[in-house]
Every structure is written in C-alpha cells, then in structure tokens.
A and B are shown apart, each in its own frame.
Chain A
Amino acid sequence: MNGIHDMGGMHGMGPIVREEHEPVFHHEWERRAFAITMAAGFLGAWNIDMSRYARERMPAAEYLAASYYEKWLWGLELLLLEHGLLTRQEIESGRARGRSAALRVLQAADVGKVLLKGGPARLPDEVPPRFKAGARVVARNINPTGHTRLPRYARGKRGVIARDHGVFIFADASALGQGPKPQHLYSVRFSGRELWGAQAPERDAVYLDLWDDHLDPA
C-alpha cells in the first residue's frame, strides 16, 4: 500500500534526534508491549509479514505521531481481532469471555530456544532464478493496496542485480495469507542518479532486496 510507512526519500521529517546512553526500553509499558507482541507472534496465528502489514494500516496521521511500540501495540490489537483471538468487547471491557482454544503458547523455558531458531524465510532452492548477477532490471511500477516490500522511490527505476540471495518467502503474498509463493530474492543496486536525479553524487548507490515478482528485464 502507498502508506505513510513507505517514507524513503520524503522531506520534512525534521532532524535526527539521538540520545546518548539510550536505554533498551524507556518505560515499563514499552517492555510489556514488546513482550506481549513477541509472545503473541509465537502463537503462530500470523506471520511476520502480516505483522508488518497490520502496522502499516495505522491511519497516517496517527502513524507519524506514534512511537515505535505504540505502533506495535496498534498492530497487535488489529491482529488479535482479525484472527479472532480477542473480540472488540473484550479489549474495551478488559474482561475475557472464556479461554482461547489450544494454541502453542510460548513458555519461559522455551524462550531462548525459539529465539535462536528464529523464523527463517529461506526456502529450498527449487525455483529457477529469473535473473543473474549483473543483469539489468527495472523495478515494476506497482501500486497494490495490500502489502509490498517494493518502496515507491524505486518503482519504475532501473538497476543491476548485485547478488542472488536464493529462494525466499515472497513477503507481498505472505502478508495477505496467500502462502509463501517461493521465488528468488536479489540485492539490486540502483544508482543515486537513477533514483534522485542529477542532485545525487555520481558514485553513490542504494541497494534494495527485491523479489522476482518486483522486477522485469531492462
């Protein structure tokens, strides 16, 4: 979707504000929001692409005003509602109506193990690549209302395949519950001049990870 989250290349967002000796969390509620989001993710009701798509659907004005973990919380509530794990009434009243049907619930003793295992997005290398390193490509001009990992600033731009990462889950499909749609993922080099015009320094470049379905031969 052409949402506010897709902000690469925008102006007017202000200076970068850094904090010396920044703590991992600034408030107790951030710790809790982080942990319940992670733990709920391990229920397996949704995948990481669905999580990102949920946060992207926060209304644009709210998104810009929200801190990182406020966005997480907003996305978590949406996912819990959409997947039928909580009802609006339960969230508003704060009272549970019965317990949920059996799902694998993350136990403290398993936390270390599941974090080390992670959620690999790499798939068996059983799909041929459409492009080889060095191939000239053009990013498709797509404007889906669903989820995409092809940012607006690269659409329609010409680049070169820098490396083939192998076969991966296609995030755009996975976020919509359409399955992994296995395909090659590439690191694609776009020159700064191609993306931003003559103002960009001649040598500079931006590399994006893009899938076969994002690219055409140039």
Chain B
Amino acid sequence: MASDHHDYDHEEGSPLPEIDLRVRALESLLVEKGLVEPAALNALIDTYETKVGPRNGARVVARAWLDPAYKTRLLQDATKAVAEFGYMGRQGEEMVVLENTPTVHNMVVCTLCSCYPWPVLGLPPVWYKSAPYRSRAVIDPRGVLREFGLALPEEVEVRVWDSTSEVRYLVLPERPPGTEGLSEEELAALVTRDSMIGVTKVRAPAAGGRR
C-alpha cells in the first residue's frame, strides 16, 4: 500500500497499518450484522469526495458580490439564501454568513471538535481539525492569520467565531479590487476555501484585472 510512503502519515499522529485492518474488520462486521449497507457507504464517500466542496461556497460568495439583493438575503437568513443553490442539510442546517469589511475581519474555528459548514465547504482540511489551529485561533487570532500570510492593521477589528453549537458560519470575504466586469463564474474561481473560513483574503487575479 502506498500509505508507507506518504509524508502526512507523520504529521498528525501516526496511523499504523493496523488502522487499515481495524477499519476493514469493523466495516465487515457491521455489514454482516445488517447495520450498514455497502452501497450506501460508497454513496456517502462519493458525495463528499466529488459533489460537495468549497466550490459551492464560492458560488454563494460570487453571487453575493454581484447581486446586492442576494447579499442582503444572505446576511439576513443565510440558511434560506444558501438553499437557493440547493446547498442545505447535514452540518449546514443552520447557517450564518459573516461579512468581512475594511474594518471588521471574521474568522471561524471550532475549539471543541471540528464543526464546519459541510454543504458549502465540504469536509474540513486537516489543519482546521488540528490542535494547533483549534488551540490558538481564539487566543492569538492575529498570530494565526500572520501564519496564513495575512497581517491585519491594528484598526481592523478581528472577530473569531467559535462554533460551539449546530450553527455553522461562513465568511463572506471582501471582493478584491480589479475584478470589475468579471462574471459570476470568473469571480467564483477566485474565491478560496481559506478565505471563506476567514484565515486569508481573496486575492485579485494575478494576470492584471480590468481597471
């Protein structure tokens, strides 16, 4: 198995080959007991590996940048506004969208576990679930942001949202300058996962946007 060669085996704990055997054994036990249906397992994996991910959230952000009425709906009732795209359900039952502005910067964490808005961002990256991010985001948000390459001036208010309930938070990043005239699709392509967690900003297109 290729798992012997992957560097990330050593980043967070060290999954031994036994883990692979343990999961397989438990899965076949559950199938044998009639508690899980193998085809359903594959459908679950396929959903989060190929269908649900941060491109969903990026479309929401791009729409909000282009359509002021949509942005108003999104900030007032995010659950409903996000559902206009068909994004809803598991781990996004209650959505709140937080708008970043030149004076307020929002970022999201879950210090107690790894709560994350699945319908719009998919499953969280390893760093979001890791002890370094979960422990530091609340006590040293500016230090964390600097690690992500974002140094905010002192005048900017940093708001950290600790996801301690079933409410899920999505950051609406600032639209970068130089993006006037771009289509919704072109704008969505600029929006990164990390900007919607609030640890980075969206950067203007590299090849010189229109002015």
Most buried by A among B35, B37, B161: B35
Contact B159 A204 (CB under 8 A): yes
Contact B162 A105 (CB under 8 A): no
Contacting residues, chain A, for B125 (C-beta < 8 A) = 18-19, 22
Nearest-neighbor residue (CB-CB) of B193 within chain A: A22
**Residues 103-131 of chain A, each 1 if its beta carbon lies under 8 Å from chain B, else 0:** 10111101110111111111000000000
Q: A85-B35, A112-B47 are in contact. Are A64 and B131 (CB under 8 A)?
A: yes
Contact B164 A151 (CB under 8 A): yes
Q: A7-B134, A70-B19, A119-B93 are in contact. Are A151 and B25 (CB under 8 A)?
A: no
Contact B29 A86 (CB under 8 A): yes
Whether A55 is near chain B, meaning CB under 8 Å from some CB there, is yes
Q: Chain B interface mostly helix, strand, loop or mixed?
A: mixed
Interface range for A: 35 or more
Whether A208 is near chain B, meaning CB under 8 Å from some CB there, is yes
Contacting residues, chain B, for A27 (C-beta < 8 A) = 3, 6, 15, 20
Contact A36 B41 (CB under 8 A): yes
Q: How far is the CB of B85 from chain A (nearest CB, A)?
A: 12
Whether A16 is near chain B, meaning CB under 8 Å from some CB there, is yes
Contacting residues, chain A, for B14 (C-beta < 8 A) = 65
Q: How far is the CA of A187 from the CA of B159 in the complex (A)?
A: 12
Contacting residues, chain B, for A185 (C-beta < 8 A) = 165, 167
21 inter-chain pairs at a CB distance below 8 angstroms, sorted by A residue, are A8-B139, A10-B135, A13-B134, A14-B131, A17-B12, A17-B127, A29-B24, A55-B113, A70-B13, A80-B30, A85-B35, A91-B25, A96-B33, A99-B33, A105-B34, A118-B90, A120-B94, A153-B139, A185-B167, A187-B96, A209-B167
Question: Chain B: residues with CB nearer than 8 A to chain A?
Answer: 3, 6, 8, 11-15, 19-20, 22-30, 32-37, 39-45, 47-49, 53, 86, 88-94, 96, 109, 111-114, 122-123, 125-127, 129-139, 141-142, 144, 147-148, 154-167
Closest 10 CB pairs of A and B: A8-B111, A209-B165, A108-B39, A118-B89, A35-B41, A121-B166, A111-B43, A96-B32, A10-B135, A13-B131
